[in-house]
Structure 1
Amino acid sequence: MRFWQKTLLVMLTLFIVTLDFSVVMIMKKSWQLNMEREVQRASSEQALIANNIYENLNSIRSRGMTINETVLYDVASSYAEYYKHQGITLQLWNQDKVVFSEDAVKSNSSNNSEENASQDEQNVRGVTISNRMPAPYEYLSLTYERDIEELYARQNELNRYFIYINLIAVPILVTLLYVLIKQLTKPLRQLSNTTKNIADGDYGQRVSLKNNDEFGELAKNFNRMAEAVEQHITELSTMAEEKQRIVDNLAHELRTPLTSMQGFAQYLNAANIGEEERMTASGYIWSETLRLKNLVFKLLDLSVLSHQPIERKHVSVEQLFESVRKTELHQLEQAGINLVLHTDIDCVWGDEDLLASFLVNCIENAIHVSSEGSIIRLLAYEENAKTILEVQDYGRGMSADHVEHVFEPFYRVDNARSREHGGAGLGLSLCRQIASAHQAELELKSEERIGTRIRMILQLPNIELLTS
């Protein structure tokens, strides 16, 4: 049974039981009050009639007449006739003998009873009061009986009306409760459908509820959870794709040098080769070994940056630039390229080795794409309250499509030139990791046949925060 059905059944049962019980208790109390009122009325009327008969008997006696059964009969019959049309029946008893009785009802009322109220539901429904007459007529007793069949008829009519109201009200109540509960549980159905869609893989599903109640709060929290789940799933999918791409590219990168090394090793094992051929084969094996070593070191650097926080300190920009210049001096002289250094700031906050690695990778990429006689600029300056480290070249540049993917691992703009220089396409990917470790922005702008500019943008406020 569904939740809304259980709620409907429980609410309907509770409502009907509570309402019916309340109405029955009210009707019972009303009946009790009506009966007490009828008894009080009968008692008052009986006392009034008894007093009138008493006055009449005293009047007759004062005139010197004898009070016999004939006189008693005449007095009682006069009053009985008067009250007959009001549904009242009178009986006058002389001890155990009936002096006057309007009907043939036989009663065994006790002469010693002070007051008796009874209801006979099998015969005539009425209220009967029997009391002795005042002295000196205490040997007489007057029995008063009042028909209350009309009261029973009204009560039965009220009972039938109550049943009719139940028969009409219950279907209406069921309909109203059904509509109300379906409307109240609508948010639960929306949540259920949304969770089902998310479970089926549609992580973009959200619950659109504008309620300002608990359901609205639940919907907001659910949407926050769904967004977090979607974000994590997206991140996991991206990481999985990236890892798979790295594995595929790594396998491809390893296959080429290993195949070359295997071939040249077999060539060296040949019996009849000259010294020149041996030197050539050894040179190829050496160059491929260096390329594999560079590839492994780059991958290790990327792994370390991904899992370990860096230790930052003040780094002298002048010493940093001089260290990078010395590292790249040999390659710059071989390529016939001039490195121009310019700095407007004294120091930066970061890891000196990683910053040097960032600049070295950028300069090496710039050397590979620059022609002989070109220049490469290495700059450090402040801009909009931020520290900028910039490497600028005037080489071949690249298109917007290449710029979009250039930071991906193993991505090469020119495969032939990258392999020629021993590159694996990991340099700029490492630069991105270094920038991320420094909580810095990385910006690359390039135009074909004009050049490329790459900038690491460090936040100046971080220096004061970290040094305090």
Structure 2
Amino acid sequence: MRFRQKMLLVMVWLLTLSYGVGGVFLIRQNFKSTLSQIKKNNEESYEMILQSVQLVNFVDIQQDFSSISNTLEKMNTSDSIVGIKLMKGDTVLYQTGETITDYDSQEEFESLMFSRDARYFYQISGSVNTDNTPLKLIILYDITPVYAARDEQVRTYHQIFLLMIVIGGFTAWITTYLMTKPLANVSKTARDLASGNLDARVNPKVLDEIGQLGSDFDNMADRLADNINELKLTMEHQDQFMGSFAHELKTPMTSIIGYADLLRSQSLTGEEAQEAANYIFSEGKRLESLSLKLLDLLMMKKESIKLIPVDMKQMIDNLTMHLQPVYTKKGIMLQSRCERCICYAEPDLFSSVLTNLLDNARKAIDNGGNIMIVGERVQGFYRIRVYDNGRGMPEEAIKHITEAFYRVDKSRSRAQGGAGLGLTLCKEVIELHGGTIAFASREGNGTCVTVTIREATL
């Protein structure tokens, strides 16, 4: 049974119970109150007639009871009085109307309710004191109208009860429909999401608890969709990574196998054999470098690093001083201009980041040029910029520059021994330091790489 049907049944049951119990209680209380009032009126009427009989008996000199009979005849004017009986011992002195039930009683005043022939009566009896044998006065009252009124109330109540159940049931159905409609929307949205429609949303239109549930469900669906899209993107990157990795292995392996087969199957001169061996060695070293960089990349994703206070100016100046002779031989002027600042860093890893950035800048310069490292403190951060006036790169390449195996110029990078993993490693190292890396470049005008890390608070 559906939740909406359960709510409808519960609401109809509660309506039936409350209206049924309440109606029965009210009718019963009204009947008891009316019956009690009728009995009280009848008892007062009997008392008045009884006192009148006693008064007539007191002034009746003849004691032939004819005056009492006349008095009873005159006082029998009420519609509710349907029978009067006056007895002296077992002798009936006066009787009129309905048959009166005789019963033995020693009480001075007695009342009895009974039904006969679908009618209801209230009989009252009492004694009239005389000088000799006391008289017994019995009056029979018809109280059938009270029961008839109750029966009419019950019939009316049943009709109203059925009408209320119909109206209440219809109202309950509308109420349960409006209350459970948001839940049905949540259920439908859940099924749509399960079937693969990640754009399905509840979009609640109410602000109650069920509406809040719908909003929470939409928030969950948003996060789920983001996670799934991120997972799909990760899978795509992994596929690209595996494809690039296979390509990177295939190219040198093809050359190595070719030259090795040449050495194995043909007689070469010493110079040709030396050239083949040198090529096999260089390609082997490139494969080794690729393997080591991949291992470093995997290890950095699994391990945390220990950061210590480092003087960034001293680190950059020392690195610049050691690399200047190598760069000078290639016609490149390497300079640094840095402010002193202490940052938390891992010296070896951060030094490798700077070395990679400088090496990329060197490879981007063809026939001599300039490389400048600028370090400055900016609002609690230390910003390092590496400028070069090399070839630069297109805007589209900047979006992918930190992806594994990506190269702006594949042939030139491979000729220079690049594996396309340097900037990927740089990004991983900088993120481990809680920093950021950004690129700005224009073809023919050089490149600027910006690294930002938080300044240490000592």
Give the shorter-chain TM-score range: over 0.9
SS in 1 for 2:113: coil
Mean Cα displacement is larger for which, 437-446 or 123-132? 123-132
Q: 1:42 touches 1:144 (CA, 8 Å); kept in 2?
A: no
**How far apart are residue 220 of structure 1 and its match?**
4.1
Q: Secondary structure at the match of 1:118?
A: strand
Question: Are 1:109 and 1:130, in contact at CA under 8 Å, matched by a contact in 2?
Answer: no
- Which residue matches 1:27? 27
Whichever residue aligns with residue 332 of structure 1, its letter is Y
1:289 CA drift (Å): 0.9
State the secondary structure of the residue aligned to 1:117.
Answer: strand
Q: Hey, what does 1:141 align to over in structure 2?
A: 136
Q: Which residue of 2 aligns with 1:260?
A: 255
Equivalent position of 1:103 in the other structure: 97
Asked if 2 retains the 8 angstrom alpha-carbon contact of 1:39 and 1:117, the reply is no
Q: Which amino acid aligns with 2:148?
A: A
Question: Which residue number corresponds to residue 392 of structure 1?
Answer: 387
Please say if 1:74 is aligned against 2:88: no
Q: What percentage of aligned pairs have identical amino acids?
A: 27
1:183 is matched with 178
1:123 is displaced (CA, Å) by 4.6
Deviations along 1:170-224, one digit per CA (max 9) or x if unpaired, are 1111111111222222332222222222222333444333655432443343344
| CA distance, structure 2, for counterparts of residue 121 and residue 353 of structure 1 | 116
Give the conservation status (yes or no) of the 8 Å contact 1:310–1:437: yes
* One-letter amino acid matched to 2:399: E
Match of 1:47 in 2: 47
CA contact (8 A) 2:81 2:139 kept: no
- In 2, distance between residues paired with 1:280 and 1:186? 80
- Deviation of residue 29 (structure 1)? 2.1
1:377–1:393 Cα contact (<8 Å) kept = yes
Whether the aligned pair in 2 keeps the contact of 1:445 and 1:452 (CA below 8 Å) is yes
* TM-superposed deviation, 1:284: 0.8
Following superposition, the deviation at residue 322 of structure 1 comes to: 4.8
* Partner of residue 58, structure 1: 58
Shift of 1:49: 0.5
> Counterpart of 1:426?
421
Q: Which moved more, 1:139-148 or 1:443-452?
A: 139-148
Q: Compute the displacement of 1:334 (Å).
A: 5.2
Structure 2 counterpart SS, 1:9: helix
Mark the CA change 1:16 to 1:55 in structure 2 (over 3 Å): closer, same or farther.
same
Greater shift in the superposed pair: 378-387 or 18-27: 378-387
Q: Which of 336, 339, 342 is equivalent to 1:341? A: 336
Residue 185 of structure 1 aligns to a residue whose secondary structure is helix
Counterpart-to-counterpart distance in 1, 2:98 and 2:370: 142
| Corresponding position of 2:355 | 360
Query: Partner of 1:363: helix, strand, or coil?
Result: helix
Once the two structures are superposed, what CA deviation does each residue of 1:265-299 show, in whole Å capped at 9, x if it has no partner? 11111241111111111011111111111211221
Q: Which moved more, 1:289-298 or 1:104-113?
A: 104-113
User: Cα offset for 1:143?
Assistant: 0.8
Distance in 2 (alpha carbons) for counterparts of 1:207 and 1:257: 55
- Distance across 1 between alignment mates of 2:78 and 2:384: 122
Q: Which residue of 1 aligns with 2:168?
A: 173
Distance 2:382 2:124 in 1: 113
Q: Of the candidates 398, 401, 408, which is equivalent to residue 403 of structure 2?
A: 408
**1:289 corresponds to:** 284
* One-letter amino acid of the counterpart of residue 94, structure 1: K
Tell me the SS of whatever aligns to 2:185: helix
- Tell me the SS of whatever aligns to 1:100: strand
In structure 1, the gaps of 5 or more residues are none
- Distance in 2 of aligned mates of 1:404 and 1:23: 78
Change (3 A) 1:330 1:421: farther
1:124-163 correspondence to structure 2 within 5 Å:
124-136=119-131, 139-163=134-158
Per mean C-alpha deviation after superposition, the further-off stretch among 208-217 and 128-137 is 208-217
TM-aligned CA distance change 1:72 to 1:344, over 3 Å = closer
The alignment partner of 2:273 has SS state of: helix
TM-score where L is the length of structure 1: 0.91
After superposition, residues 187-202 of structure 1 pair within 5 angstroms as 187-202=182-197
What is the Cα deviation at residue 111 of structure 1? 5.6
**Distance in 1 (alpha carbons) for counterparts of 2:273 and 2:423:** 36
Change (3 A) 1:170 1:318: closer
Alpha-carbon distance in structure 2 between the residues aligned to 1:47 and 1:254: 125
Q: 1:376 aligns with which of 366, 371, 389?
A: 371
Residue type of the alignment partner of 2:340: I
Residue-by-residue CA offset, 1:417-438 (whole Å, 9 max, x unaligned): 0110111111111121122111
- The answer (yes or no) to whether the contact 1:381–1:387 under 8 Å persists in 2 is yes
CA drift of 1:32 comes to 1.9
Return closer, same or farther for 1:190/1:85 CA change in 2, 3 Å cut-off: closer
Paired residues in the alignment total 457
Q: What is residue 83 of structure 2 aligned with on the other side?
A: 89
Bigger shift: residues 419-428 or 226-235 = 226-235
Partner of 1:4: 4
- The 8 Å contact of residues 4 and 176 in structure 2, kept in 1 or not, is answered as yes
CA contact (8 A) 1:77 1:100 kept: no
Gap change, CA 1:325 and 1:104, over 3 Å in 2: closer
Does structure 2 conserve the Cα–Cα contact (< 8 Å) formed by 1:341 and 1:377?
yes
- Residue type of the partner of 1:78? K
| Closer/same/farther in 2, CA of residues 440 and 371 from structure 1, 3 Å limit | same
Counterparts in 2 of 1:79 and 1:380: CA distance versus 1, 3 Å: closer
